[in-house]
Every structure is written in structure tokens, then in C-alpha cells.
A and B are shown apart, each in its own frame.
Chain A
Amino acid sequence: MTSIPHTNLIPSSAPSRGKVGMACLIFAECWFFAGFIVAYLFYIGKSSSGPMPREVIDIKPVLVNSAALIASSFTVIAALRGLARSHMGSFRFWMALTIVLGSYFIYGTAMEWRGFIVDHHLTISTNLFGTTYYSLVGFHAFHVIVGLCLLTTILVLSLMGHIHVVRDYLRVELVSWYWHFVDAVWIVVFTTVYIVGMRP
């Protein structure tokens, strides 16, 4: 028995299963969004009746919105840095700022939808533009809301004193991964809807 060499046993350097799990979830979500992005691209300019994207979309508020969401990716990094140094005050401040920025994004989307529905009478059943626009932007907004719920839960737990750096750093980091993913999807959605989709 002793003749079997054990020198070729690798030391256990496996990645954390939480990270693998979250990466897999994000991978699957990418393919979910891919379907809706392809649908949007496929149906650009195919609506049989108006309103068309160029008639209703006002790019300026969307740019402000996008800036807020992209900024929130950086504030969540700042929050994580605070947590790593056990500066709970800084962690909570940046976390709260992230939530405010994310909520502003949702508010902006709501205002855009309100304008479409009330002023332009564009709903999901009006034409193909409405169908693809509301489902793509709506699913993204839904993911932002899920992310906000996760971030808010962390903030509330930390205000109650239940966040411990050593035990919880990875968990908060994984939520930040999800948040970055939501942000990255928005860049693709923005390109699809507000740049590619605006061509005449």
C-alpha cells in the first residue's frame, strides 16, 4: 500500500462555490436577455403602425438615468472597499448611495413609460416596437428591482449590526457581482434600444 506515491496529490485550491454559483446564474441570465435583445433587433423598423422609436424617445433623460446606474456600479465597489476595511460607516454610506442611484434609475424608467403610455398611447400591444421595447426594458428594470431588494436587505441588516466582515464579505461581494451584471446588461440594452434602434 505504501508504494503509491502521494506526491501528485494537488492541494485544494478550488474556487468558492458561491462565486461559481453566482457566475453560473449570471451566465444563464445573459442567455435569457439574449433572446429579448435578438427579438428587439429582429423587429426594428417592422412595426406596421406608429408610434415609431424616433417619434417618442427622448434621449436626454435616458442619458441621465444611465449615468446614475453606471455610477452605482462604482459606489458599490466603494462600499465593498469600506467593508473590507471594516469601516462600517463608509460601507453604509456607499451602500445607501448605490440604492439611491438605482432607485433613481427605476424612477426615470417609470417616468419614461408614463410619457409613452399617457402622451403617445404606446403600450405593449400597440405595435412591435411597443412589444419588444416594454419586454426588454421591463425585464431589465425587473432585474434592477431585484438587485435593489438585495442591496436594501444588506443595508438594513448592517444597520441592525448583523453584517460581519469575515463571515459576510463574500456574500456582499456576490450581490455586487449581480449588480454589475445588471449594469452591464443596461449598456447592451441602451445600445440596442437607444442607438441601433433609433436609425431611420
Chain B
Amino acid sequence: MTTAPIHPTSETSIGFGSRVHSWVISVDHKKLGMMYIGAGLIFFMLGGIEATLMRLQLMKPLNDMLTPHGFNQMFTMHGTTMVFLVGMPVLLGFGNYLIPLMIGARDMAFPRLNAFGLWLFIFGGLLLYYSFIGGDGLYGMGGAPDVGWFAYSPLTSKAFSVGHATDYWILGIMVSGFGSMTTAINFMATILCMRCPGMTFMRMPLFVWLMFTVGILVLLALPVLTGAQVMLLFDRFLGAHFFDPQQQGSVIFWQHLFWFFGHPEVYILILPAFGMICEIIPVFSRKVIFGYPLMVAATLSIAFISLGVWVHHMFSVGLPPWLNSIFAASTFLIAVPTGMKMFNWIGTMWGGNIRFTVSMMFATGFLVMFLFGGLTGIMLAVVPFDWQLSDSYFVVGHFHYVLFGGTMLAVFSAVFYWFPKATGRLLSEPMGKWTFWMFMIGLTLTFFPMHLSGVLGMPRRVYTYQPGRGFELWNLISSSGVPFQIVGVLLLVTNIIKSLINGRVAGPDPWDAWTLEWATSSPPPSENFPKIPTCTSPRPLWDRKHPEDPDCFYE
């Protein structure tokens, strides 16, 4: 059985060149989704290399492996890559792959626009990375961008950013941002217009609800960033004064614009992860998700409140106390719907018949790590506490728990869960368990000590530190977590390649799941469903498997 061809079509008989060609010209949402995820994984490894170099530099005090300038480039490229070229495309890729399958549609609403978005993202990423070669510009100075991922002015002005490094940062992000916006438009149109008969809003899988909310946030936040970047381009090329203090321009104005984008962006990166967890935990707990309507309400309120919390990135700027207080209060408020979700997931697992597959292990790991990152986030919402710890390693530890321990663990969980659907092969479970423990150990070793070195006063974005200030041990432990994470990534990649070649054949529904993507073959045919399915409840497949006791009786 294991040697059965994955693709029963004639694809195996055609040459390599024409197979690549068929992917390049594809407008199929499944191929585009996989290309998003694949390209995101490649950028993930590039961003990982940059992080490794930084951890090597900080392993011991007064190290000189990287120059100060090189270190600035590394943290800028690492942050920019992970947010814009890993987080967004991988999550949008999952959305692309899963939304039409989950709502019983044949494709996205605008397939060609979809392909356009993918290629914009890829070219935007290449443009950003070309800065390593072309960033020197005519001045012979520069290289990769070195202004931090939030590119505060006046660092980005012509006087402080000579050469074209900053221009590559602006244009690379802008181009891939246009790609994300087209994808968001596609998500909205697909979810609103392409649902199969019976798929009412309150029967949609929660992943689809979460991606719908992400679509709104992308359309709302990214244009503001694009506008701010256009202003910056005008400053740099046309001599405008948006962020030029010498002509009464305000550098704080950039911070407001950036974080008005930046905070919804954080939720753009975490809401899809919530969606994955909402699908995976019920299936492996053998229980219906606890509090479906509450989950939807919590999602929408998170999206709404996320528009009004951005100043908590700017507490140390020196804004008026009443303003800081308002934004501290709104930041506390956003923890309420997030906490509801946490309790709903635990409520789903409570009393369930839990099956600890690798996917479920990652989902459980997500709950633990995200809770920790969320709690340090609430600590940072306390203004005086933030004054003490702003721009310290405490903040770095906090957001790595949220983005790596949260988003990325959910993505790994999703990879193990949906890989059989996308390829027809199961990933190896024993190898997956090793991957899981490598990541859990590596994450804790690397990011937990950062809280301690941060409290002790170690500032972020500084290329080295003096001995004798108590930072040595914590930095050494942080760096010692890196090999575990590298092994984790290598195991995952090996697992994917090995399982593609001779993994166990999955069949259409290996997890005994309930949503419509499991109703078609694995991998799905190009039209997704031979016959458009109908939906009778939030768990259409349960209804089909258990006609004697369907969910629709209890709606």
C-alpha cells in the first residue's frame, strides 16, 4: 500500500520542467496555499539563521563575532522576515488551502487575483533579501536594512540611512503587503459568497470565522502601513517633511502610524493560530468545541479592541498620562475575550477522550506557551512596569512566547493535522514527537531566561554587553536553546520530505474529523468536491457518520 502513487493522475509521467510549470501557472487555491506555506518555510529558515547568528554573538560578553552594524542588520532582517515573510504568508497559505474546502466551495472567489497575491508576496520577499546585495546603492554604504523591524524615524531619514537599505525595506514590505491585501479581499468574498448550501454563518468552522476576522484586520491595518511607507518614501526621495523634526515634522507621528498598523498585525498573526487550535482540539478531544457562539463573539471583540490599544507600544515615549491610562485600560480589556477563548479550549478538553497525537501535543503546547506569553503581556500593560522594562529583553521574551510559542506551535500543530489532507500521506508520529520535545525544550531554554536578563536591565538591540552585570548566565542559557530548535526544524523538514516519498497512506479522513475538508479524497481533486456538499450543522461529517444522532437535532 505504501508504494501506491499519491497522484493517480498522469502527473507522475510528465517531466520535471512541465511539473514546475504547472505550479507556476496554477490558479488552484490548494497549490497556491502550499506554495505560500513552502515559501514561508524557506523564509523561516533564513530568519532562523539570522537569529542563530545573534544568539552566537550574545553567547558571551564583549563578543566580536558580529559588528554592531551587522548585528543591527540581523535583528532588522530577522524581525521583518518573521512577521512579513513567515507569519503572514504561512497563515494566509493555510487560509487559502482550507477556506474553500471547509465551506464546501470549488475555489476562491478570485483565483487569478489569488495567484497574483502569492507572486507579489514572493517578489516582495526577494526584493527585501536583494538588499544584502543591492542595499549599498551608489554610496557604497548600507547593505541590509538596519533600522529595526518598526523602522523608527529619524533613523530612516536620508541623513541616518545612507544608501538604499531602508528603501529595500520599504518597497519589499509594501509589495508583499499588496499581496496580503488582495488575499484578504479574496477571503472576504469567498467566505461571504461561496458557502455551500446549508453553511450558515453559525455553522461555519471556527477557523473560517477567524480568517474572516483576519481579512477585516488586514484590509484595515495594512493600508495605513502602506500610507506611512509612502510618506517615508516621499521624505527620502522628494524632500518631504512628514517625519523631519528640523521642519517641525514629528517622529512620534511615524510611531503612531506604525503601531496603528502594528497592533492589529499582532492579531493578524495570532487569530489564524486560534482558528487552527479551535479545529484541532475538539477533534482530538472527541468533543464539540465548548461555547461556539462565545468563541465567535470573543473573536470579533478582539478584532474591535485591537484597533484601540496601539499606544501600549509607546508608553515610554512620554505621552500624557491620561492617554497612557486609556490605552492601558483597553489593553487589559483585550485580555478578557482572549481569556474566554483559553477557558473554552480547556473546557473542550475537559472530560474529553483525548488522543495525544503530535498535532494535539503541539496544540496543548500552544495553550501553555501562549498563556505564559499572554500573562507577561498583561504585565507590560501596567504603565510603570512598562517604563521599567520597555525595550529590554523582557519584551523580547514576551513576544517570542506569543509568536513562537503561540503562532508557530499552532502552525506546527496544523502542519501535522492537515499534511495528510494536502498530500495523502501521514507524517511520521515518532519523529514528530521528537520535533515537539526539541521545540519545547529549545523554546523554554531560549526565551524564558530573556525575561530574567530583561528584568536585570539588559537592553534589546544592543550588540554586546559588559561582563559582571549578571547577564552572562542567562544569555548563555538562551543561546544553548538554539541547537534544540535547529534540530527541531531539521527533523520537521526531514519528516516532510520522507513522508512525501514513503509516508503511510492517509485516506480521506485519518483523524475521524467533522469538517467538510475531510469529506473529499486526500489530496482533494482539483475541483475539491465531485458534488458540492451540503451542510446540516457545525459538524456536517458527524451528521453523515452518525445519522441516528446528528448534531442538527440539537441546533
Q: Which of B224, B238, B249, B535 makes the CB contact (< 8 A) with A35?
A: B224
Which residues on B sit within 8 Å (CB–CB) of A20?
A: 109, 188-189, 192-193
CB distance from A87 to the nearest CB of B (A): 30
| CB-based contact A31/B220 at 8 Å | yes
* Known A24-B185, A32-B223: A14·B193 in contact at CB below 8 Å: yes
Q: Which residues of A, 35-53, contact B by the 8 Å Cβ criterion?
A: 35-36, 39, 42-43, 46-48
Q: Which of B110, B230, B238 makes the CB contact (< 8 A) with A17?
A: B110
Q: Which of B110, B195, B238 makes the CB contact (< 8 A) with A14?
A: B195
| CB-based contact B228/A35 at 8 Å | yes
Asked if B552 is an interface residue, CB under 8 A from chain A, the answer is yes
Asked if A109 is an interface residue, CB under 8 A from chain B, the answer is no
Asked if B136 is an interface residue, CB under 8 A from chain A, the answer is no
Which stretch of A77-85, A90-98, A120-128, A159-167 is in the interface?
Answer: A120-128
> In the docked arrangement, what's the CA distance between A24 and B109, Å?
13
| CB-based contact A31/B224 at 8 Å | yes
Which residues on B sit within 8 Å (CB–CB) of A48?
A: 247-248
Which residues on B sit within 8 Å (CB–CB) of A127?
A: 241, 247
| CB-based contact B219/A24 at 8 Å | yes
By Cβ-Cβ distance, the 10 closest A-B pairs, closest first, are: A35-B227, A125-B239, A32-B223, A17-B109, A17-B193, A131-B240, A31-B223, A17-B189, A20-B189, A9-B198
Asked if B550 is an interface residue, CB under 8 A from chain A, the answer is yes
* Contact mask for chain A residues 1-14; partner B; CB cutoff 8 A; 1 contact, 0 none: 11111101111101
Q: Which of A3, A11, A17 has the most CB of B within 10 A?
A: A17
Sampled A-B contacts (29; CB under 8 Å): A3-B548, A4-B547, A4-B550, A5-B536, A6-B536, A8-B552, A9-B198, A9-B534, A14-B193, A16-B193, A17-B190, A20-B109, A21-B186, A28-B181, A28-B220, A32-B226, A33-B227, A34-B227, A35-B227, A35-B228, A35-B257, A36-B227, A42-B253, A43-B249, A124-B240, A125-B238, A131-B249, A135-B230, A135-B242
Asked if B234 is an interface residue, CB under 8 A from chain A, the answer is yes
> In the docked arrangement, what's the CA distance between A147 and B199, Å?
37
Asked if A58 is an interface residue, CB under 8 A from chain B, the answer is no
Q: Which of A4, A8, A15 has the most CB of B within 10 A?
A: A4
* Known A39-B253, A42-B250: A135·B240 in contact at CB below 8 Å: yes
CB distance from B226 to the nearest CB of A (A): 6
Q: Which of A3, A16, A33, A46 makes the CB contact (< 8 A) with B248?
A: A46
CB distance from B355 to the nearest CB of A (A): 27
Q: Which residues of B, 158-201, contact A by the 8 Å Cβ criterion?
A: 181, 184-186, 188-190, 192-195, 197-198, 200
| CB-based contact A5/B552 at 8 Å | yes
Which residues on B sit within 8 Å (CB–CB) of A25?
A: 185
| CB-based contact B247/A128 at 8 Å | yes
| CB-based contact B220/A27 at 8 Å | yes
The chain A residue with its CB closest to the CB of B536 is A4
Asked if B231 is an interface residue, CB under 8 A from chain A, the answer is yes
Q: Which residues of B, 248-294, contact A by the 8 Å Cβ criterion?
A: 248-250, 253, 257
Which residues on B sit within 8 Å (CB–CB) of A168?
A: none
> In the docked arrangement, what's the CA distance between A14 and B224, Å?
30
CB distance from A133 to the nearest CB of B (A): 11
* Known A1-B547, A20-B192, A135-B240: A39·B247 in contact at CB below 8 Å: no
Q: Which residues of A, 109-135, contact B by the 8 Å Cβ criterion?
A: 124-125, 127-128, 130-132, 134-135
Which residues on B sit within 8 Å (CB–CB) of A128?
A: 241, 247-249
Q: Which of A10, A17, A36, A47 makes the CB contact (< 8 A) with B197?
A: A10
Which secondary structure dominates where chain B touches chain A? helix
CB distance from B180 to the nearest CB of A (A): 11
CB distance from A107 to the nearest CB of B (A): 23
Which residues on A sit within 8 Å (CB–CB) of B110?
A: 17, 21
| CB-based contact B536/A131 at 8 Å | no
Which residues on B sit within 8 Å (CB–CB) of A21?
A: 109-110, 113, 185-186, 188-189
| CB-based contact A125/B241 at 8 Å | yes
Which residues on A sit within 8 Å (CB–CB) of B181?
A: 28
| CB-based contact B555/A8 at 8 Å | yes
Which residues on A sit within 8 Å (CB–CB) of B190?
A: 17
CB distance from B394 to the nearest CB of A (A): 31
| CB-based contact B234/A14 at 8 Å | no
Asked if B543 is an interface residue, CB under 8 A from chain A, the answer is yes
Asked if B222 is an interface residue, CB under 8 A from chain A, the answer is yes
The chain B residue with its CB closest to the CB of A45 is B248
* Contact mask for chain B residues 484-507; partner A; CB cutoff 8 A; 1 contact, 0 none: 000000000000000000000000
| CB-based contact A28/B223 at 8 Å | yes
Which residues on A sit within 8 Å (CB–CB) of B198?
A: 8-10
| CB-based contact A14/B253 at 8 Å | no
Which residues on B sit within 8 Å (CB–CB) of A42?
A: 250, 253
CB distance from B260 to the nearest CB of A (A): 8
- 20 further interface pairs, Cβ-Cβ under 8 Å (given A43-B248, A131-B242): A1-B547, A3-B547, A4-B543, A8-B536, A10-B198, A14-B195, A21-B110, A21-B113, A21-B185, A24-B185, A25-B185, A28-B223, A31-B220, A31-B224, A34-B227, A35-B227, A43-B250, A131-B234, A131-B240, A135-B230
> In the docked arrangement, what's the CA distance between A124 and B237, Å?
11
* Known A8-B198, A15-B192, A127-B247: A24·B223 in contact at CB below 8 Å: no
> In the docked arrangement, what's the CA distance between A36 and B227, Å?
7
Which residues on B sit within 8 Å (CB–CB) of A31?
A: 219-221, 223-224, 227
Which residues on A sit within 8 Å (CB–CB) of B241?
A: 125, 127-128, 131
* Contact mask for chain A residues 141-155; partner B; CB cutoff 8 A; 1 contact, 0 none: 000000000000000
Q: Which residues of B, 92-131, contact A by the 8 Å Cβ criterion?
A: 109-110, 113
| CB-based contact B234/A124 at 8 Å | yes
| CB-based contact B189/A6 at 8 Å | no
The chain B residue with its CB closest to the CB of A9 is B198
| CB-based contact B534/A28 at 8 Å | no
| CB-based contact A47/B219 at 8 Å | no
| CB-based contact A32/B552 at 8 Å | no
| CB-based contact A27/B219 at 8 Å | yes
Q: Which residues of B, 503-555, contact A by the 8 Å Cβ criterion?
A: 534-536, 543-544, 547-548, 550, 552, 555
Which residues on B sit within 8 Å (CB–CB) of A32?
A: 223-224, 226-227
CB distance from B218 to the nearest CB of A (A): 8
CB distance from B174 to the nearest CB of A (A): 12
> In the docked arrangement, what's the CA distance between A1 and B544, Å?
7
Which residues on B sit within 8 Å (CB–CB) of A4?
A: 536, 543, 547, 550, 552
Which residues on A sit within 8 Å (CB–CB) of B197?
A: 9-12
